[in-house]
Structure 1
């Protein structure tokens, strides 16, 4: 994908990605399981000009921090009618769910948002006992199954042609059955005849995101994803990972320009760098966390400067403390003058030294 500006995404994860974020006075942890909390977060991101809202999900309870979560697709559906521009990309695990259900849920979200839905593919490790239907799988098996699931979902989205609904009052035919198609998929994990019960989504194929974390997930990402999320320890590594993924996408027979590589960036923002550092130190005093990706502790201005140096098609900001980040977010996104490359003008009446 080619963009005049890099994509800006925000991961809306609980009270924040830091496990101690719920202990902050401004965390709104008591509202975590209310619709209002999530609507406020998505609406704040949209108002600030964020392109994509990623909504994490898992069947596993959190090990640390605020325990429990609402379903990501449900959150996105609740935010659909209240938003107008932002892309909503919930995670939907495939290991213990059926592709038919996932295809229907994401297609329905695409209808609800008038074409702003996406899907982040995840697998479920260590959760088989919660379902009792099959044994645990190793990473290779999990991602091989995920690869098949993405193929089935894509075929189900295509199982209705765009003009399959005819609504012919004279003959009483609501659909043209010649424009509904069996997908007849048979793989090692799924055997799905189809067609879908839901018409083709407004986008045809809602964008698919995959976080490339290891060899198995990366293999699926370069074959299937429109958005590839990656973590990198530093800026040079981020640029190298992007180049490697573009080469791998091309080797898989796909156009690298059709795929966006998004760098994860853990962030905590405050009005001053000193305040941001002190607040981060407090989080670490409560619960120490090893850095797993790029991390920025500072102000909106220092973050803007960092974003300008990252070689990627976009960045996914992962707030360590979500409500605190959202309060600073309006100062982060560029103004129209910024986008045009124009400096902030001096006030002609202001006194100069």
Structure 2
């Protein structure tokens, strides 16, 4: 679908992180609110660096309480077993009926490494290279069961096995396969990478369906988007298959009051934690509209400072205004996260080639 300015409709997503919440009902409430605004997906962060609930498990609890909103937990690839990671993400796709995503992240500190005791911390470049290999083997494992393949092999009419060994050897792990979980409803759950850090960009360009980029100016976002698209093309991908979302933290506590200097129409303010917008939901809609018209990004990922308050003002104010202007949809045209994002369901590589790629 096309917006009145001739560009595609915006994609909008929001974080539902609540560090003090240890009851999934708080996350259910926010996810339902985001769904009421027809947002593409919500994210829930996770890290080994601080205590908290497991993001994937929380969103698995949110899944049956929602019907359309995409659910994207952070799952770290460092110190974890790739086979278990892909199985958990595939399971979330099943329990959500095709609404799962996976925000890929790495663990860089020695303190986090000591939690597992397997190896020391490694440089960011090496960890993101490993994360790319995990993303690759996950896709192969998701394809390793054709259709509704069970545990039997050689059950196709043409005699070809429905189950496929992966036999993948990475720098730090090896996986044989096949997966223990049937192929996910989306084929491949949506892979998301925060590409703000330059170390993550090669992995994002090669494997991500959605890249998040923090930036206080359209020029900053646009430059990284161009870099990601060029790198995706170099890896043999169609750049149009990569959605790039500008990532901002938003503080809508001022209600309808004009944004502070350096915010609103003047753009977000850069802080040590990243770009911060502070103002009202109408001014935020103006900012989003202006950036969208320049072709800066395919949409926005917004992190509320005050989750309940700001998400409600975002949905009831900013999103409603963007819908009125014809820049954002008023309903979900499909049922899966890939459909929300306008991404095709990947073909099964083994069904196409009949063997190991």
Note whether the superposition's TM-score is higher than 0.5.
yes
Question: Would the aligned equivalents of 2:144 and 2:163 in 1 still touch at CA under 8 Å?
Answer: yes
Distance in 1 (CA, whole Å) between partners of 2:287 and 2:206 is 30
* Conserved? CA contact 1:268–1:276, under 8 Å: no
Q: Which residue of 2 aligns with 1:339?
A: 326
Match of residue 13 from structure 2: 9
**In 1, Cα distance between the equivalents of 2:289 and 2:275?**
14
Q: 1:144 aligns with which of 106, 129, 138?
A: 129
- Please show how residues 107-126 of structure 1 align to structure 2 within 5 Å: 107-126=90-109
Counterpart selection for 2:211 from 228, 252, 263: 228
After TM superposition, list the pairs within 5 Å mapping 1:183-262 onto structure 2. 183-262=166-245
Given the two structures, how large is their TM-score scaled by the length of structure 1?
A: 0.80
Contact 1:269 1:276 in 2 (8 A): no
Which residue is 1:21 aligned to? none
Q: How many residue pairs were aligned?
A: 304
Structure 1: distance between partners of 2:199 and 2:319: 35
- 8 Å contact kept, 1:266–1:293: yes
* Per-residue deviation, residues 64-89 of structure 1 (Å, max 9, x unmatched): xxxx3211101110110011111101
8 Å contact kept, 1:265–1:294: yes
Aligned residue for 1:40? 29
In structure 1, how many angstroms separate the alpha carbons of the residues matched to 2:124 and 2:254? 42
Q: Displacement of 1:338 after TM fit?
A: 2.7
Do 1:270 and 1:276's aligned partners in 2 also have CA atoms closer than 8 Å? no
- Report if aligned partners of 1:266, 1:319 keep a CA contact under 8 Å in 2: yes
Larger radius of gyration: 1
Match 1:296 to one of 270, 273, 277: 277
Contact kept, 8 Å, 1:143 with 1:220, in 2: the verdict is yes
> Per-residue deviation at 1:293?
3.4
- SS of the counterpart of 2:161? helix
Which deviations, in whole Å up to 9, do the C-alpha atoms of 1:164-195 show, x marking residues without a partner? 2599xxxx99xx99201100111211111111
Aligned to 2:48: 59
Aligned equivalents of 1:122, 1:248: Cα separation in 2 = 19
Aligned residue for 1:332, secondary structure, equals helix
Give the unaligned 5+ runs of structure 1. 16-28, 62-67, 281-288, 342-353
Q: How does 1:148-167 map to 2 (within 5 A)?
A: 148-165=133-150
User: Partners of 1:257 and 1:233 in 2: how far apart?
Assistant: 24
Deviation at 1:315, TM superposition (A): 0.5
CA distance in 1, matches of 2:312, 2:188: 34
Query: In 2, Cα distance between the equivalents of 1:157 and 1:340?
Result: 34
Q: Cα RMSD (Å) of the superposition?
A: 2.7
Give the superposition deviation at 1:118. Answer: 0.6
Q: Which residue of structure 1 aligns with residue 344 of structure 2?
A: none
TM-score of the superposed pair, with normalisation by structure 2 = 0.79
Equivalent position SS for 1:308: helix
| Structure 1 counterpart of 2:309, from 291, 302, 324 | 324
Q: Supply the distance in 2 between the matched residues of 1:198 and 1:236 (Cα, whole angstroms).
A: 43
Preserved CA contact (<8 Å) 1:164 1:177: no
The answer to whether the 8 A contact 2:46-2:75 is kept is: yes
Taking the aligned partners of 1:196 and 1:177, their CA distance within structure 2 comes to: 18
Provide the rounded CA distance (Å) in 2 between the counterparts of 1:334 and 1:239. Answer: 26
SS at match of 1:135: coil
Q: Write the distance in 2 (CA, Å) between the matches of 1:326 and 1:213.
A: 23
* Partner residue in 1 for 2:117: 132
Instruction: Please tell me whether the aligned partners of residues 229 and 261 of structure 1 are also in contact (alpha carbons under 8 angstroms).
Output: yes
Q: What 5-or-longer segments of structure 2 have no aligned partner?
A: 264-269, 329-357
Which digits, 9 at most, give the CA deviation of each residue in 1:178-217, with x for residues without a partner? 2011001112111111111000000111111111133321
Aligned to 1:20: none
